[in-house]
Amino acid sequence: MDIQGSKFLVTGGASGMGRNFTLNFAKHGGDVAFCDLNEEAIAAVEAEAEGLPGKVVGFKANVAIEDEVVALIKNVREALGGLDCVVNNAGIFRDGLLVKKDRETGEVKKMSLKKWSSVIDVDLTGPFLVSREFAAAALENGHGGVIVNISSISRYGNMGQTNYSAAKAGLVADTKLWSMELARYGIRTGAVAPGFVDTPILQGMRPEVLEKLLKAVPLRRAANPDEIFLAVKFIVECEFFTGRCIDVDGGQVV
């Protein structure tokens, strides 16, 4: 699929990697819709995209809520005149150990169901809903397309991320599964699993903490968001790619 002239939806597209994906697609001539919960950030990205070759339009939507996703896909298709690719980027993390015993008091603390569910809802149920509605519309219109899921190196199991690791591992499993189910309809799937990426989350860390984290990366640095976009771009453009996950992690092993 050529990016120029194609129609894209990026979830969580007003900040971090999602913002980068949104603007990069538009720079390459694609028309892009994106969704987020932060209305000010949505307006800022729309303003930043003015003058780019591709059209950019933002929507406020919570990907964890079914009715909002159904409406989002409908509104995006109307705004762009169709939809060729979705990038399931929206995600949150609520880190914590499964259980932890206080060394002084002996009190046992447990990861709450709320903390588990909030991450699963956004990071796994959200992509399910977006992909389902995208694929259903594609089938109804006799049109193929591409689904790109943004996973993480944490999918291998990262200490303190029971909820996040489960969601990101599930995304890779769904990528493989959907490739088999949807190939007959001309829909390809792919996943990208980044390691540490230079986004506001990483930039907000204390320098000594960040330095310690990056020591685990053979390349001794975080990725630039543009480097993650290269993997997304490959999945979109390579017509013989489906059902696989591309790790872009600087060689880091979790």
**Contact call for residues 151 and 193 (beta carbons, < 8 A):** yes
**Contact call for residues 158 and 146 (beta carbons, < 8 A):** no
- Residue 143: how many other CB atoms lie within 10 Å: 14
Question: Looking at 7-139, which runs of residues are DSSP E strands?
Answer: 7-11, 31-36, 56-60, 85-88, 99-101, 108-110
How many angstroms separate the CA atoms of 42 and 132, rounded? 24
156 in active site: no
Alpha helices in 8-112 (DSSP H): 16-27, 39-48, 66-80
Nearest CA to 83 out of 59, 105, 101, 106 is that of 59
How many angstroms separate the CA atoms of 26 and 31, rounded? 6
8, 134, 164, 178: the catalytic one is 164
List, by residue number, the catalytic residues: 164
